[in-house]
Amino acid sequence: MSIAIDPEILARIDALPSKAKDELYRRIQAQSSANHQVWYCRKGRSCDGYPHEGVPYPHAQDYQWPPPGISWDIWFMMCGRGTGKTRTGSNYLRRVKEKVPRIAMVGRRGPDVRQIMVEGPSGLIRACELAGETYDWKPALREFTFANGAKVFGYSAEEPNSLRGPEHGAAWLDEPCHMDYIDDVWDNLQLGLRVAGLPGGAKVLLTSSPLPNKWTKERIKDARTVLVRVPTSRNEHNLDESYRRRVIDPLRGTRKGRQELEAQLLDDVVGALWKESLLKREVFTVEELGRRVVAIDPAGSTAKRSDETGIISAGKLGAERYGVLRDLSGKFSPNGWATAAINEYERINADAIVVERNFGADMVRDNVRNAGFTGRIIEVRASHGKEVRAEPIVGLYEQEKVVHQEGADLADLEDEQMTWVPGKGASPNRVDALVWAITELHGGGTGDVAAGIPRGSLRPGGPGATRKLPFGRRGRAV
Ligand SMILES: [Zn+2]
């Protein structure tokens, strides 16, 4: 398309120095109406980020939204390769700039600030261009100014002292787990985080692939942190073929891949029951399994993260071994978790759903029944503490009698296994469901029952076994 422009204006543009000309073109392009893309769409956090009506291009999916509410200080996006962390960061700053006049942006090294966070293919400049917003960027000063005047100041983590003094109301740190002087960077940044603006106080976004060092673990443990772990698989549909072939594929199935793709912290946590080395993967199919069960540990206790319901499926792999199939745990409504468990029960042709009879009498069993389930329910009673229940199962792992299905997304479960320290932190719903599933498969068979397992409550026909109820599958609750 050509537009008629006054020749005099054209001549004047032509006479501009090339740098000014570039800037002019950039601004014209940024403001053209074809380039007014939104990042956060109207569907909100429930959107999967795929193009849809009104937003015909990829945009933010749930994990790329800042955490809901204002009662957090740190949004820790611990991510695998290719999960769009830079784009998440750039767009978060675009959002924050509406309320905060001074923002800090810290890169691992000086060139990273410029080449990745600002001028990179998903950096601040690109984010502004896509949104049709103007900006000003002074690379020598590492100073980025949004159209509304809000400024982002770039810092290199190699110069932690440069963060001493300046004040900010928000910050974005890219790859903090890999910064050499992160402790100093962090301390200095905290001192200056006192510019008002964001409701609930200054906020920090951390985007990083994981590295199990002290600082990382402290951030995860911090009650003010919202940890969002993002495996590469969450964004694979947006990755181009060659990136997948060059970067992603070689890491698949490797230990490094668990860190780089599945965003797991790999080293052993002191006091955790499971060591990383105990978690073995193996290729097997559902059909190769003997007896199969789905175990549920419902949300509901008052502990942190207790809004997750643990749902784990597993089966017998030969006489004395057990294979963990899937982890379907998540945040559900009561009907939601019951339905998820029932679907898995049908998918793997299981012979029972194992539920914990802990609080509120028969709540869990009744809820599964109310969702239309007429199969076998085994109720287990939590007469011992979580640790006592888990120990014999850890023993089975030590004997290499429990393996995880190769290729299944069990990263969250494995993370919980490796980081849960009995008596501390969040209630481990995934681990609990796993323990119930393996306990049932182990105790329900003819093999030895390890000490500590409340066997009497597990046996079919024992107090936990259930009777058929007089209504059809998915029928009306009576
Ligand atoms: Zn959307």
Q: What is the pLDDT of residues 418-427, one digit of tens each?
A: 888 888 766 7
Please tell me the distance between residue 48's alpha carbon and the centre of ligand 1 in angstroms: 6
Please tell me the distance between residue 34's alpha carbon and the centre of ligand 1 in angstroms: 18
Give the integer Cα–Cα distance in Å for 478 and 470: 8
| Mean pLDDT on 218-239 | 92
Name the more confident of 35 and 430. 430
Please tell me the distance between residue 123's alpha carbon and the centre of ligand 1 in angstroms: 21
* pTM higher than 0.75: no
Give the integer Cα–Cα distance in Å for 102 and 317: 58
Please tell me the distance between residue 58's alpha carbon and the centre of ligand 1 in angstroms: 8
Report helix, strand or coil for 52: strand
Please tell me the distance between residue 232's alpha carbon and the centre of ligand 1 in angstroms: 20
Name the more confident of 350 and 469. 350
The CATH classification number of 269-457 equals 3.30.420.280
In angstroms, the Cα distances linking 215 to 173, 181, 252 are 13, 10, 27
Instruction: Give the model's pLDDT for residue 374.
Output: 94
Residue 254: is its pLDDT beyond 90? no
Residue 478: is its pLDDT beyond 50? no
Please tell me the distance between residue 130's alpha carbon and the centre of ligand 1 in angstroms: 16
Please tell me the distance between residue 45's alpha carbon and the centre of ligand 1 in angstroms: 8
Instruction: Give the model's pLDDT for residue 446.
Output: 31
Name the more confident of 241 and 247. 241
Amino acid letter, 266? L
What percentage of the chain reaches a pLDDT higher than 70?
A: 87
Please tell me the distance between residue 64's alpha carbon and the centre of ligand 1 in angstroms: 12
Please tell me the distance between residue 63's alpha carbon and the centre of ligand 1 in angstroms: 13
Which residues in the chain are classed under CATH 3.40.50.300? 36-238
Q: Tell me the CATH number of domain 36-238, given options 3.10.350.10, 3.40.50.300, 3.90.1150.10, 1.10.10.60.
A: 3.40.50.300
Please tell me the distance between residue 55's alpha carbon and the centre of ligand 1 in angstroms: 6
Please tell me the distance between residue 57's alpha carbon and the centre of ligand 1 in angstroms: 9
Instruction: Give the model's pLDDT for residue 470.
Output: 30
Give the integer Cα–Cα distance in Å for 435 and 460: 17
In angstroms, the Cα distances linking 170 to 37, 41, 75, 282 are 24, 23, 11, 44
Please tell me the distance between residue 445's alpha carbon and the centre of ligand 1 in angstroms: 49
Residue 407: is its pLDDT beyond 50? yes
Q: Is 455 exposed, middle or buried (0-12, 13-18, 19+ CB in 10 A)?
A: middle
Please tell me the distance between residue 59's alpha carbon and the centre of ligand 1 in angstroms: 7
Name the more confident of 412 and 58. 58
| Mean pLDDT on 187-211 | 94
| Mean pLDDT on 246-259 | 78
- What does 135-174 look like in DSSP terms, one character per residue? EEEETTTTEEEETTS-EEEEEETT-GGGGSS--BSEEEEE
Instruction: Give the model's pLDDT for residue 105.
Output: 98
Give the integer Cα–Cα distance in Å for 222 and 220: 5
Please tell me the distance between residue 65's alpha carbon and the centre of ligand 1 in angstroms: 11
Residue 173: is its pLDDT beyond 70? yes
Which residues in the chain are classed under CATH 3.30.420.280? 269-457
Please tell me the distance between residue 369's alpha carbon and the centre of ligand 1 in angstroms: 35
Please tell me the distance between residue 51's alpha carbon and the centre of ligand 1 in angstroms: 7
Residue 447: is its pLDDT beyond 80? no
Name the more confident of 403 and 362. 403
| Mean pLDDT on 212-234 | 92
Mean pLDDT of the residues in the chain: 85
Please tell me the distance between residue 67's alpha carbon and the centre of ligand 1 in angstroms: 17
pLDDT bin (cut points 50, 70, 90) of residue 30 is low
Name the more confident of 91 and 467. 91
Please tell me the distance between residue 44's alpha carbon and the centre of ligand 1 in angstroms: 7
Please tell me the distance between residue 240's alpha carbon and the centre of ligand 1 in angstroms: 21
Please tell me the distance between residue 6's alpha carbon and the centre of ligand 1 in angstroms: 41
